[in-house]
Structures are given as C-alpha cells and as structure tokens.
Amino acid sequence: MSKHVALILLLGLFSLSLEAASPKAPSSDIFGTWSFSFANPGVGQGGRSSDQKYAGLWVGTFSSENGPKGDITYDLSKDNKGQWRGTVNFKYRNQPEEHKANLQSIQIVGGKLKANIIDMPGYKGGPREARVEGQFQGDKLEGSLTISPKGSTDITNTWTWKTTKSSAAKPGR
C-alpha cells in the first residue's frame, strides 16, 4: 500500500510541475494555492516590451544625392505576434503627390532599423526597390535609403533622412 501512496504522490507532484511549466493563465489546486508561469518575452523579432519605444510615427525630411528633397514619414508598429509592420510616406517638394510604400522584412535590433521596400513608388523610369537603414537615438531616427532598379544591385540614388518621433495622433492618410 505504501508503494501506491508514494506513486500517487509522485504523479501529483509531476502533474503540478507540468502545470507550472505551462504558459496558460494561473490556476489554483485543491489546496487553494496559485501557480504562475512566465513566458519568454524574447520571442519573435526582438519581442521585448522595450522595443515599443520604436513604434510610432516618425516625421522628417530627406535629401538625395541626385537633387530632390522632400518630406518623409515612417509609421512603425508591432503586431500581437511580435512582428514589426511599417510604411513609409514621402513627398517631393516640387510635386503635389504623396507616395506610400510598405516596409518589408523589418528588423529592429540594438537600436538599428533595417527594412526593404519591394515596390518603390514615385518614379516613372521603371520598377525600383530600396533598402532602408536607420539608427534610433532617443526621439530621433536618422538613416539612409538606397534605391536600385528592381532585381539589380546597382544603386541609382541614395537618400539621407532625419526624423523625429511625433507625439501627435496619426494624420488621416
């Protein structure tokens, strides 16, 4: 009989240890005690909550080596799976249209932003793509955007840009 009691106690402890390792919501056992488990916040693309300081609207200006200048806005957010999402809006100072592109393969690691633009708008000379690289410094985000013909490694233009995190609500676009 003592072997059965020992086996039952062993199974009970094993069951409790499995429950404590589970990422489910806390539950109570028959004794009214609570068990908690902690999920690893480092899942996904830099899933730490401190990364949220990079989310938001970053507004500023750009200039290019080939002459055009304009206004630029990055809108960065993190979805519920910890994946970064973003868009870039820009407007050349000498043109009325505003252009918008989705950021792809966004990485924010160690205060550095890297992303791709698969279809770079705003040019009538054929399809283009771009590589975005930037550095966060407090409420500032500065970097470069290199533009290439689609499928080519030849760089046809480079923009440098400087933005500041906006405290205002997102404007309707």
Amino acid 45: pLDDT: 43
Amino acid 109: pLDDT: 95
- pLDDT, tens digit (0-9, with 9 covering 90-100), for 111-157: 999 999 998 887 777 789 999 999 999 999 999 999 999 999 999 99
CA–CA separation, 71 and 92 (whole Å): 7
Amino acid at 122: G
Residue appearing with tokens 């304009």: 70
- Residue percentage of the chain with pLDDT more than 90: 54
Residue appearing with tokens 């990485």: 107
CA–CA separation, 86 and 55 (whole Å): 9
Predicted TM-score (pTM) of this structure: 0.68
Q: Would you mind telling me the total number of residues written for the chain in this entry?
A: 173
**pLDDT-based confidence at 8, cuts 50/70/90?**
low
Rg, the chain, Cα only = 25
Under CATH, what is the fold of the domain 49-165? Lipocalin (2.40.128)
Look at the alpha carbons of 112, 117, 122, 123 in this order and tell me if their dihedral is positive or negative: positive
